[in-house]
Chain A
């Protein structure tokens, strides 16, 4: 039993990483109605920017804020420059664009900062949290930030005018335009916010997985999976999905014999697919009814 609780706790700690990334995934899904494969790389690049700022002697929190601003503007710029011209192109062409963006960012980061692994500081310290060896203060801090972000997003979407406009633009673009919402800029705003949330995720994840150009590839996959599990339309679902994913993965690794590190992901994904077969819109997602 103790093994079980320990594994669940450790799972929640890793789950915080996935939950954080899953929030960014939900954000972009809300804005553009599909997944952005380059999101992890955008987050990685922002994290490198903050690292570079700190190397130049900027204090952590200042670098944190500057990076958020950079990520927000960068996200908007990417949408305006690269993806706005593709609005009329088929969706699959857009997906190819994401892959191209992935390739560009990954390769440029490799050239600017090379592929060696770098240490990344944490603002929360890394001593054991409340005397438990399984969760460090950094991981506890990460869980805290994730929950804070979740609450923030909830209020943003439910209680602000601009949040409402964004939801309207995402769910019924034509009607939204008719009531005077600038849907094109709502999409850009969605990109900016997703990019900023991704940057937060990146800066929180970097102390755990270390900083290098490929650090987000795996994390993004888990983030996607977590968001899909929780329901792509629900920030709460994404966070729950993230934690579940972390716990799943740890329990599978502990209790199913012969599962090495490499089989953890496929098995966790297989579990998610079984959930989806029963609940196709994810655990917390809204059922979408299509009209013929």
Chain B
């Protein structure tokens, strides 16, 4: 080793090791939450249903980031780019090719998987801050790329594209908002179950081995390059599907909806929900949707400052995010049972 080299023993990692069992909720709790989510729209106004739909969609995008960061230990500030690709895939397919909205989701997923997998290749050599910068570059480039002249015919340039909101099928007596909510809920549920199983599978264990110690993982025979790019691909695919749902829900896609701000929000959502805890993604999504509005309600001029203070409060109280509350709850329940 030359004198210019520095030796660092890995004391603390960027991403904490989360055992795979601690990544999900118990079956009982999951069913209760699901039941609440199914019944809820029957009692509230359309606008709240719309917000709940957005919560599910952002939750899905945060979940995707959680698989990448909490699962495989790679950091990304470029999720907004994948979200944009998903949204545009859906918008273009629906508007120019009259593809059914439900069919555009898997297509967006496949397109984003390819995109993420390819992006994962150069990202392989980068980690930590460097990877953050690379993904950040992707996020800043995406809105500009969508505005390029030769793509304008397809993307509608700065103006973007309008997406028609689907009606409920089979003549179901539901408002469009309510149908879209149930549709999103079904998609989110399917992807959630897929993600939980993914992390429990061989591939999931490979992700976590890479997260905890890359060198040790490769020594045990994990194909580090393959699994790292795979994590990028899966995360991009899920984000892309969230983007498609988002495009359908908002009925509009434009380059400036998918800036770095979106990527930062998703990141905050992940931290607030708890890195590596999948159900937390939806708690985090609630934070990034409702707290800025709340801050605006408290003070118009200082909404940014109020948001910052609230965020500080949350990270002081629960530095490990909502997961910490869940663990606490579990302990209390466990103690009560013993007594």
Residues in chain A within 8 A of chain B (CB atoms): 34-35, 82, 85-86, 88-93, 95-97, 99-104, 106-108, 110-111, 171, 174, 221, 224-225, 228, 232, 258, 262-263, 265-266, 269-270, 272-273, 276-277, 280, 286-292
Contact = CB atoms under 8 A, between A and B. Distances in A.
Contacts of A291: 7-10
Interface string B295-339: 000000111111111011001100111000000000000000000
Nearest to B149: A258
Contacts, number: 159
B268 A103 contact: no
Given A89-B319, A90-B16, A93-B271, A101 B122 contact: no
Interface of A is mostly: helix
A35 B14 CA distance: 13
A111 B129 contact: no
Residue among A35, A100, A228 with the highest chain B CB neighbour number at 10 A: A100
A197 B147 CA distance: 37
Contacts of A108: 302, 305
B300 to A, nearest CB: 10
Interface residues of B, number: 58
Contact of A85 (B130, B305, B316): B316
Interface string B245-274: 000000000000000000010011011100
A135 B126 CA distance: 36
B140 interface: yes
A92 B271 contact: yes
Given A35-B129, A273-B137, A276-B126, 5 more contacts: A93-B320, A96-B311, A107-B304, A272-B133, A276-B134
A228 B137 CA distance: 13
A18 to B, nearest CB: 14
A27 to B, nearest CB: 15
Contacts of B270: 92
A263 B305 contact: no
Interface of B: 1, 4-12, 14-16, 69, 75, 122, 125-126, 129-130, 132-134, 136-137, 140-141, 144-145, 147, 149, 213, 215-216, 219, 264, 267-268, 270-272, 275, 301-309, 311-312, 315-316, 319-321
Contact of A96 (B5, B69, B75, B315): B315
Contact of A228 (B130, B215, B267, B305): B130
